[in-house]
Amino acid sequence: MNFHSQSDFIFAANWKMYKTPDEAEQFFNAFFEEYKPGAEHLIFLPPATDLYVCQKKILHQKNIFFGGQNSYFEVKGAFTGEISPLFLKQMGAKYGLVGHSERRQIFGEKNELLAKKVKALQDNGLIPIFCIGETIEERKSNKTNEVLTEQIQKGLALLNPKLDLIVAYEPVWAIGTGLTANLEQVSEAHLTIRGLLDKMGTSAPILYGGSVKPDNSGDLKKVKNVNGFLIGGASLEVDSFISIIKS
Ligand code: PGA
Protein backbone atom coordinates (compact mmCIF):
# COMPACT_ATOMS: atom_id res chain seq x y z
CA MET A 1 0.00 0.00 0.00
CA ASN A 2 1.26 3.39 -0.90
CA PHE A 3 -0.27 6.60 0.40
CA HIS A 4 0.78 8.42 -2.71
CA SER A 5 -2.00 6.68 -4.53
CA GLN A 6 -4.72 6.11 -1.95
CA SER A 7 -7.26 8.41 -0.44
CA ASP A 8 -9.09 6.43 2.25
CA PHE A 9 -9.78 8.45 5.37
CA ILE A 10 -7.50 7.38 8.23
CA PHE A 11 -8.64 6.90 11.83
CA ALA A 12 -5.69 6.42 14.16
CA ALA A 13 -6.38 5.51 17.80
CA ASN A 14 -3.73 6.73 20.22
CA TRP A 15 -4.37 4.80 23.44
CA LYS A 16 -1.53 6.53 25.32
CA MET A 17 -0.88 4.75 28.66
CA TYR A 18 -4.35 3.24 28.93
CA LYS A 19 -5.60 -0.37 28.74
CA THR A 20 -4.05 -3.45 30.26
CA PRO A 21 -3.68 -6.41 27.87
CA ASP A 22 -6.96 -7.83 29.23
CA GLU A 23 -8.73 -4.54 28.62
CA ALA A 24 -7.27 -4.34 25.10
CA GLU A 25 -8.57 -7.82 24.35
CA GLN A 26 -12.03 -6.92 25.67
CA PHE A 27 -12.00 -3.79 23.54
CA PHE A 28 -11.24 -5.72 20.35
CA ASN A 29 -13.85 -8.40 21.12
CA ALA A 30 -16.51 -5.72 21.52
CA PHE A 31 -15.17 -3.68 18.59
CA PHE A 32 -15.37 -6.51 16.08
CA GLU A 33 -18.92 -7.31 17.13
CA GLU A 34 -20.00 -3.80 16.21
CA TYR A 35 -17.67 -2.59 13.49
CA LYS A 36 -18.77 -2.89 9.87
CA PRO A 37 -15.73 -2.37 7.68
CA GLY A 38 -15.88 0.41 5.11
CA ALA A 39 -13.30 2.04 2.87
CA GLU A 40 -11.53 3.63 5.83
CA HIS A 41 -8.08 2.80 7.10
CA LEU A 42 -7.81 2.12 10.87
CA ILE A 43 -4.63 2.25 12.91
CA PHE A 44 -4.39 1.24 16.57
CA LEU A 45 -1.48 2.64 18.59
CA PRO A 46 -1.63 0.79 21.92
CA PRO A 47 0.90 0.69 24.77
CA ALA A 48 3.80 -1.63 23.85
CA THR A 49 2.55 -4.24 26.31
CA ASP A 50 -0.67 -4.57 24.27
CA LEU A 51 1.03 -5.07 20.91
CA TYR A 52 0.80 -8.85 21.10
CA VAL A 53 -2.96 -8.49 21.62
CA CYS A 54 -3.09 -6.46 18.38
CA GLN A 55 -1.02 -9.14 16.69
CA LYS A 56 -3.53 -11.76 17.76
CA LYS A 57 -6.67 -9.74 17.04
CA ILE A 58 -6.00 -7.58 14.00
CA LEU A 59 -2.92 -8.74 12.11
CA HIS A 60 -4.92 -10.31 9.30
CA GLN A 61 -7.80 -7.82 9.11
CA LYS A 62 -8.15 -5.86 5.91
CA ASN A 63 -7.54 -2.10 6.27
CA ILE A 64 -6.83 -2.37 10.02
CA PHE A 65 -3.28 -1.96 11.23
CA PHE A 66 -1.33 -1.23 14.38
CA GLY A 67 1.82 0.47 15.44
CA GLY A 68 4.04 1.52 18.31
CA GLN A 69 3.68 4.74 20.30
CA ASN A 70 7.43 5.06 20.65
CA SER A 71 10.62 3.53 19.27
CA TYR A 72 14.33 4.29 19.41
CA PHE A 73 16.58 5.20 16.48
CA GLU A 74 18.95 2.26 17.00
CA VAL A 75 17.80 -1.27 16.17
CA LYS A 76 19.56 -2.99 19.08
CA GLY A 77 21.98 -2.35 21.90
CA ALA A 78 22.33 -1.35 25.53
CA PHE A 79 19.36 1.03 25.63
CA THR A 80 17.40 -0.04 28.69
CA GLY A 81 13.70 0.64 28.40
CA GLU A 82 13.71 1.47 24.70
CA ILE A 83 11.88 -0.31 21.89
CA SER A 84 13.56 -1.17 18.61
CA PRO A 85 11.77 -0.40 15.34
CA LEU A 86 12.94 -3.80 14.17
CA PHE A 87 11.10 -5.46 17.08
CA LEU A 88 7.93 -3.51 16.21
CA LYS A 89 8.23 -4.67 12.63
CA GLN A 90 8.58 -8.30 13.70
CA MET A 91 5.47 -7.99 15.87
CA GLY A 92 3.55 -7.15 12.71
CA ALA A 93 3.34 -3.40 13.36
CA LYS A 94 3.07 -1.20 10.32
CA TYR A 95 3.36 2.24 11.93
CA GLY A 96 5.31 4.15 14.55
CA LEU A 97 4.23 7.36 16.25
CA VAL A 98 6.95 10.01 16.50
CA GLY A 99 6.98 13.43 18.10
CA HIS A 100 3.66 13.35 19.93
CA SER A 101 3.43 16.49 22.05
CA GLU A 102 3.51 14.38 25.22
CA ARG A 103 6.85 12.91 24.10
CA ARG A 104 8.12 16.39 23.27
CA GLN A 105 6.89 18.08 26.44
CA ILE A 106 7.03 15.42 29.17
CA PHE A 107 10.01 13.43 27.89
CA GLY A 108 11.92 16.35 26.36
CA GLU A 109 12.25 14.89 22.86
CA LYS A 110 13.69 17.42 20.43
CA ASN A 111 13.34 17.73 16.65
CA GLU A 112 16.88 16.39 16.08
CA LEU A 113 16.12 13.16 17.97
CA LEU A 114 12.76 12.86 16.22
CA ALA A 115 14.44 13.13 12.82
CA LYS A 116 16.56 10.07 13.66
CA LYS A 117 13.51 8.18 14.90
CA VAL A 118 11.63 8.92 11.67
CA LYS A 119 14.58 7.66 9.64
CA ALA A 120 14.93 4.50 11.75
CA LEU A 121 11.27 3.67 11.25
CA GLN A 122 11.50 4.11 7.50
CA ASP A 123 14.78 2.16 7.36
CA ASN A 124 13.02 -0.73 9.07
CA GLY A 125 9.99 -0.78 6.81
CA LEU A 126 7.61 1.05 9.15
CA ILE A 127 5.55 4.14 8.35
CA PRO A 128 6.18 7.08 10.69
CA ILE A 129 3.20 9.06 11.98
CA PHE A 130 4.96 12.33 12.67
CA CYS A 131 3.15 14.73 15.03
CA ILE A 132 3.49 18.48 15.10
CA GLY A 133 1.58 21.33 16.72
CA GLU A 134 1.86 24.66 18.45
CA THR A 135 1.26 25.56 22.10
CA ILE A 136 -1.35 28.13 23.09
CA GLU A 137 1.37 30.73 23.75
CA GLU A 138 2.82 30.19 20.28
CA ARG A 139 -0.61 30.56 18.69
CA LYS A 140 -1.39 33.71 20.66
CA SER A 141 1.87 35.29 19.56
CA ASN A 142 1.18 34.41 15.90
CA LYS A 143 4.00 31.89 15.73
CA THR A 144 1.95 28.90 14.58
CA ASN A 145 3.29 28.80 11.03
CA GLU A 146 6.84 29.36 12.20
CA VAL A 147 6.59 26.50 14.70
CA LEU A 148 5.03 24.09 12.21
CA THR A 149 7.68 24.97 9.63
CA GLU A 150 10.53 24.37 12.07
CA GLN A 151 9.06 21.10 13.34
CA ILE A 152 8.66 19.82 9.79
CA GLN A 153 11.99 21.00 8.46
CA LYS A 154 14.00 19.70 11.44
CA GLY A 155 11.92 16.67 12.38
CA LEU A 156 11.74 15.43 8.79
CA ALA A 157 15.32 16.39 7.90
CA LEU A 158 16.29 12.75 7.31
CA LEU A 159 13.06 11.70 5.61
CA ASN A 160 13.07 9.56 2.50
CA PRO A 161 10.18 11.25 0.64
CA LYS A 162 9.82 8.23 -1.63
CA LEU A 163 8.68 6.12 1.32
CA ASP A 164 5.34 6.44 3.09
CA LEU A 165 4.75 8.93 5.86
CA ILE A 166 1.77 10.29 7.77
CA VAL A 167 1.81 13.70 9.43
CA ALA A 168 -0.52 14.57 12.32
CA TYR A 169 -1.34 18.17 13.14
CA GLU A 170 -2.27 18.38 16.81
CA PRO A 171 -2.45 21.81 18.41
CA VAL A 172 -1.06 21.16 21.89
CA TRP A 173 -3.82 23.24 23.50
CA ALA A 174 -6.49 20.98 21.96
CA ILE A 175 -5.09 17.66 23.17
CA GLY A 176 -7.14 16.11 25.96
CA THR A 177 -8.66 19.48 26.83
CA GLY A 178 -12.04 19.25 25.09
CA LEU A 179 -11.04 22.34 23.08
CA THR A 180 -10.88 21.75 19.34
CA ALA A 181 -9.28 24.05 16.85
CA ASN A 182 -12.06 25.71 14.82
CA LEU A 183 -12.53 24.68 11.22
CA GLU A 184 -10.76 27.76 9.91
CA GLN A 185 -7.71 27.17 12.12
CA VAL A 186 -7.58 23.53 11.04
CA SER A 187 -7.94 24.43 7.38
CA GLU A 188 -5.21 27.08 7.59
CA ALA A 189 -2.73 24.85 9.42
CA HIS A 190 -3.34 21.90 7.09
CA LEU A 191 -2.84 24.12 4.05
CA THR A 192 0.47 25.37 5.46
CA ILE A 193 1.58 21.82 6.20
CA ARG A 194 0.52 20.58 2.75
CA GLY A 195 2.66 23.32 1.19
CA LEU A 196 5.68 22.37 3.30
CA LEU A 197 5.30 18.68 2.50
CA ASP A 198 4.92 19.41 -1.22
CA LYS A 199 8.27 21.16 -1.13
CA MET A 200 9.84 18.09 0.45
CA GLY A 201 8.41 15.89 -2.29
CA THR A 202 5.95 13.92 -0.17
CA SER A 203 2.19 13.76 -0.49
CA ALA A 204 1.80 12.29 3.01
CA PRO A 205 -1.76 12.32 4.38
CA ILE A 206 -2.30 14.88 7.14
CA LEU A 207 -4.33 13.86 10.19
CA TYR A 208 -5.98 16.30 12.58
CA GLY A 209 -5.83 15.52 16.28
CA GLY A 210 -6.93 17.22 19.48
CA SER A 211 -10.26 16.44 21.16
CA VAL A 212 -11.81 14.78 18.10
CA LYS A 213 -15.20 13.50 19.32
CA PRO A 214 -18.34 12.07 17.70
CA ASP A 215 -20.00 15.50 17.82
CA ASN A 216 -17.26 17.39 15.93
CA SER A 217 -15.78 14.72 13.67
CA GLY A 218 -18.37 15.12 10.89
CA ASP A 219 -17.48 18.79 10.39
CA LEU A 220 -13.73 18.31 10.78
CA LYS A 221 -13.79 15.53 8.22
CA LYS A 222 -15.01 17.90 5.53
CA VAL A 223 -12.12 20.35 5.94
CA LYS A 224 -9.84 20.43 2.93
CA ASN A 225 -6.48 18.69 3.43
CA VAL A 226 -7.77 16.79 6.47
CA ASN A 227 -7.05 13.19 5.45
CA GLY A 228 -7.78 11.53 8.76
CA PHE A 229 -7.82 11.87 12.55
CA LEU A 230 -5.51 11.01 15.41
CA ILE A 231 -7.85 10.27 18.29
CA GLY A 232 -6.93 9.93 21.96
CA GLY A 233 -9.68 9.87 24.59
CA ALA A 234 -12.56 9.06 22.23
CA SER A 235 -10.74 6.01 20.82
CA LEU A 236 -10.74 4.24 24.17
CA GLU A 237 -14.44 3.37 24.04
CA VAL A 238 -15.83 1.19 21.25
CA ASP A 239 -19.00 3.27 20.86
CA SER A 240 -17.35 6.66 20.55
CA PHE A 241 -14.62 5.37 18.23
CA ILE A 242 -17.17 3.73 15.93
CA SER A 243 -19.36 6.86 16.00
CA ILE A 244 -16.39 8.91 14.80
CA ILE A 245 -15.64 6.40 12.04
CA LYS A 246 -19.26 6.54 10.87
CA SER A 247 -19.64 10.32 11.14
P1 PGA B 1 -7.31 13.59 22.48
O2 PGA B 1 -5.79 13.16 22.18
O3 PGA B 1 -8.15 13.10 21.33
O4 PGA B 1 -7.65 12.93 23.78
O5 PGA B 1 -7.32 15.08 22.56
C6 PGA B 1 -5.26 13.25 20.90
C7 PGA B 1 -3.82 12.82 20.91
O8 PGA B 1 -3.11 13.09 21.90
O9 PGA B 1 -3.32 12.20 19.96
Ligand 1 contacts (CB < 6 A) are 14, 170, 175-176, 209-212, 230-234
| Options 102, 109, 170, 190, the catalytic residue | 170
> Are the CB atoms for 73 and 120 separated by under 8 Å?
yes
Quick check: 232 pLDDT over 70? yes
The pLDDT value recorded for residue 181 is 87
What confidence tens digit (pLDDT) does each residue in 87-108 have? 999 999 999 999 999 999 999 9
| Options 41, 100, 134, 190, the catalytic residue | 100
Cα(174) to centroid(ligand 1), Å = 8
Quick check: 4 pLDDT over 50? no
Pairing of strands 64-68, 41-45: parallel
Q: Which ligand 1 atom is the nearest neighbour of the CA of 231?
A: 3
Q: Which of 105, 131, 170, 213 to mutate to test the pocket of ligand 1 (most atoms within 8 A of CB)?
A: 170
> Is position 146 annotated as part of the catalytic site?
no
Cα(14) to centroid(ligand 1), Å = 7
What is each CA distance from 26 to 32, 92, 204, in whole angstroms? 10, 20, 33
Which residue has the CA at smallest separation from atom 7 of ligand 1?
232
What confidence tens digit (pLDDT) does each residue in 114-164 have? 999 999 999 999 999 999 999 999 999 999 999 999 999 999 999 999 999
Buried b (16+ CB within 10 A) or exposed e, 55-90: eebbeeeeebbbbbbbbbbeeeeeeeeebbbbbbbe
> Is position 100 annotated as part of the catalytic site?
yes
Q: Which ligand 1 atom is the nearest neighbour of the CA of 213?
A: 3
Confidence of residue 60 (pLDDT cuts 50, 70, 90): confident
Q: Which ligand 1 atom is the nearest neighbour of the CA of 234?
A: 3
> Mean pLDDT throughout 40-55?
97
The pLDDT value recorded for residue 5 is 40
> Are the CB atoms for 55 and 91 separated by under 8 Å?
yes
What confidence tens digit (pLDDT) does each residue in 163-183 have? 999 999 999 999 988 888 899
Quick check: 231 pLDDT over 50? yes
Greatest pairwise CA separation for the chain in angstroms? 47
